[in-house]
Structure formats: structure tokens, C-alpha cells
């Protein structure tokens, strides 16, 4: 009698129970298909719970184990030591990565095989492909090009390797209202890439050769005051940069690096500075004389060097002023210049 009752109850409730299981299984499959990773790696606690629930089914889980493959589950059962480490190979120590990048920056003609040999000499065990991948991620070419007469490198690598001795220059213009109407005034900018410090010439309507040569001499003296010995000057192919202009820099021991035609990014540091001075300052003014333009440039340059934080990766959002020290003491005040177009904040000394 009890057997008959059990059969009747099972026929009544089992279809509903099976439907619930099918619904849950279908939803799990839907979620599983939306996961980006190719596989799910359970934690130790999750794996223990899966095995506990599988034991209730006598480990017959082929049709219900969805988060991992059934053979993975069976491998868990056969493992003598259930604890395991993180999947995949261990990461290369950061100290080794830093050493590889240092070697690559200091020796531009070394390929990844040469670097492997140097590391082997130092007792550091690492695979060739690992070195190659580290160089690629850092923007270094693992196999430098051969020939050419001088150490080959891409432009970005060249810049990063010579930041402290490179200077870049370029012109920018600003319309000035005169009795003849609007006339473009020109300013010549020099920037030391390592420190981001800038020299700006007085404005002129006639950037003739003699004027440009005088600004080159002034910039050379400015670099001497900074204690910088320039090894290279980056410039575009503007006809205002004459052979006499180049000769001044060559006499100082600097090599001239001309940027490709219509490649503004090749002179990126100078172009970036010019973009800043225009967006943050000059675009807010109508100039009616060269004297006014020079005054605006002078105020901007004082702000740029002494108050403005700089966001370069190698500068770390700091102020260029050498004696600047952040402090949390004192009342916060606002400084302004040029009628509030330029503003900054500082702490008033107690």
C-alpha cells in the first residue's frame, strides 16, 4: 500500500521537480555563455562545496556539472593533495623586468637574445620569449634594425633615452590688432624635455634670419644657466630655421634632428606646450600690441614654472619650481594673474 502511495506521489511531484532542475540548468547555461573568460576557476571553498554536493549523487555529475568539465571534477577526486596554487606560470619578478628595461634603454642596439646572454651571465634565469614579451609591452623593439651608421631605435625610444639632453623648438603665432588690421605675431619656443622648462622669445612681426639667430643665442645662454648641455635639437622643417641657425647649435655640440613632414607628434613636447599656452591663456585675449602679448607670455611663463602642476609620467603631477615642497599646514588661498584667467591655490604660511 505504501509503495503504491509512493508511486502516485512521485508521478505527481517528479515532473515538477524535473522542470525546476531543467529551468535552473538552463539559466546557468545562459549565465555561463555570457562570461568573457574561457573558463571558471573555483575557489577552494567552492570546490569543496561542489565535491560535497557531488558526493550526495555518488559523484555521478556528468549531466549536472556545468561550471567545470566533468573530467576536472574527476581529477579533483583523484588528487592526493587537494590544495593547489594559482593557475599558470609564476610572474617574472619586477626587479628582473626593471633590469631588462634598463639594459634595453642603455644599449639601443641590443636585441632580446643579447639581453638573455647578459642576464645569464648575472645568474638570472629567464626565457627568451619572456624577455621578448617584456620588451614589446614596454614599447621596445625586441630585434633592433641593423645598419644605418648609428644606434637604431624608434622615435619614442630615442626621446625617452635622451630626455635630459634634448631640446625642442617651434614657432607659434598670435593675431595682433594693428593699424593695418590683424597681423600675426610670432614667438619662438624652446623646451628642455627632461625638466619641461621653457624659454620664450619676445614676439615679433618679422621673424627674419637675424632675429631667429639672436633667439638661438639667447636660448643657448638660458640652457647654460640651467646647467644643461644639449646633445640634440628637435625642430621641424620651417624655412626660418636656416643653416646658420643649425650651425649655432652644432657649435654647442648639439645634433639637429629634423621631424618628418606633417608629423606633429614627432615634436610632441613642444607642440603640447604650445597647445597649453593657447588653450589656457592666449585664446582668452585679443592683443592690440606686441608689448601686451609679451606681458601675457611673461605672466604665463611665471605661472607655468612656479605654480602649475605638470602631469608628465616622469614628473608625477608636480610643480617645476625646484624648492617647492607640498605642505598641509596653513590656510588655503587662491592666487590669480591676468585678471583671473590664470589661477592657482597655495597655503599661506602660518
What digits encode the pLDDT tens for the residues 321-333?
877 777 778 787 8
3-state secondary structure of 220: helix
Domain boundaries defined on the chain: 1-34, 42-80, 98-149, 162-339
Instruction: Give the whole-number percent of the chain exceeding pLDDT 90.
Output: 33
Q: pTM for this one?
A: 0.58
C-alpha cell at 81: 593533495
156 or 191: which leads in pLDDT: 191
Name the nearest CA neighbour of 339 among 276, 289, 286, 291. Answer: 286
Q: Please tell me the distance from the alpha carbon of residue 291 to that of residue 289, in angstroms, as a whole number.
A: 5
Burial of 85 (0-12, 13-18, 19+ CB in 10 A): exposed
Q: What is the pLDDT of residues 304-317, one digit of tens each?
A: 998 888 776 667 66
CATH value of 162-339 in 3.40.50.2300, 2.40.160.20, 3.30.420.10, 3.30.450.40: 3.30.420.10
Amino acid at each position: 500500500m505504501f509503495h503504491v502511495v509512493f508511486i502516485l506521489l512521485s508521478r505527481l511531484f517528479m515532473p515538477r521537480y524535473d522542470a525546476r532542475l531543467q529551468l535552473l540548468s538552463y539559466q546557468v547555461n545562459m549565465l555561463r555563455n555570457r562570461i568573457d573568460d574561457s573558463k571558471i576557476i573555483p575557489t577552494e571553498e567552492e570546490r569543496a562545496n561542489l565535491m560535497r554536493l557531488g558526493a550526495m549523487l555518488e559523484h555521478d555529475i556528468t549531466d549536472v556539472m556545468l561550471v567545470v568539465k566533468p573530467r576536472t571534477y574527476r581529477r579533483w577526486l583523484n588528487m592526493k593533495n587537494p590544495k593547489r596554487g594559482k593557475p599558470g606560470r609564476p610572474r617574472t619578478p619586477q626587479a628582473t623586468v626593471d633590469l631588462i628595461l634598463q639594459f634595453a634603454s642603455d644599449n639601443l642596439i641590443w636585441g632580446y637574445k643579447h639581453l638573455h646572454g647578459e642576464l645569464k651571465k648575472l645568474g638570472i634565469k629567464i626565457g627568451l620569449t619572456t624577455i621578448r614579451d617584456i620588451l614589446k609591452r614596454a614599447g621596445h623593439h625586441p630585434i633592433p634594425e641593423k645598419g644605418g651608421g648609428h644606434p637604431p631605435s624608434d622615435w619614442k625610444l630615442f626621446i625617452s633615452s635622451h630626455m635630459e639632453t634634448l631640446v625642442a623648438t617651434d614657432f607659434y603665432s598670435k593675431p595682433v590688432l594693428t593699424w593695418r588690421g590683424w597681423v600675426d605675431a610670432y614667438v619662438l619656443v624652446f623646451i628642455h624635455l627632461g625638466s619641461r622648462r621653457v624659454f620664450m622669445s619676445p614676439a615679433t612681426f618679422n621673424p627674419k634670419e637675424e632675429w631667429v639667430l639672436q633667439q638661438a643665442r639667447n636660448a643657448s645662454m638660458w640652457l647654460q644657466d640651467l646647467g644643461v648641455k644639449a646633445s640634440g635639437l628637435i625642430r621641424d622643417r620651417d624655412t626660418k630655421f636656416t643653416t646658420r641657425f643649425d650651425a649655432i647649435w652644432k657649435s654647442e655640440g648639439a645634433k639637429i634632428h629634423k621631424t618628418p613632414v606633417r608629423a606633429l607628434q614627432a615634436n610632441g613636447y613642444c607642440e603640447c606646450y604650445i597647445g597649453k599656452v593657447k588653450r589656457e591663456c592666449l585664446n582668452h585675449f585679443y592683443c592690440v600690441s606686441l608689448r601686451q602679448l609679451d606681458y601675457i607670455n611673461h605672466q604665463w611663463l611665471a605661472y607655468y614654472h612656479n605654480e602649475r602642476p605638470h602631469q608628465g609620467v616622469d614628473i608625477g603631477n608636480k610643480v617645476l619650481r625646484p624648492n617647492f615642497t607640498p605642505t598641509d599646514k596653513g590656510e588655503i588661498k587662491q592666487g590669480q594673474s591676468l585678471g583671473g584667467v590664470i589661477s592657482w591655490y597655495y597655503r599661506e604660511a602660518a
